[in-house]
Amino acid sequence: MNSDQRARRRAQDLDQTIFALDDKRWDEFMAALAYSPKDNPGLRRLLACKPVWEKQRLP
């Protein structure tokens, strides 16, 4: 295996995280994923703005 292949393999390994939870913590984790966050008007405004990299440049 050459260095490029090793680097690709290492990147793939880093992309996967394994963690173990008992039943109670698993249920709490799943509930947290299903939770709908409260409305955040500031975040809504920020996400509605055009990104800097898409703004027109001045001549």
pLDDT at 19: 77
Three-class DSSP category at 3: helix
pLDDT: which is higher, 59 or 44: 44
Domain ranges of the chain: 3-54
pLDDT tens for 19-56 read 789 999 999 999 999 998 899 999 999 999 988 888 77
pTM of the model: 0.41
pLDDT at 59: 64
Cα distances (angstroms) measured from residue 54 to each of 12, 39, 50, 59: 32, 26, 7, 15
pLDDT: which is higher, 2 or 58: 2
N-term to C-term CA, the chain: 51
pLDDT at 37: 87
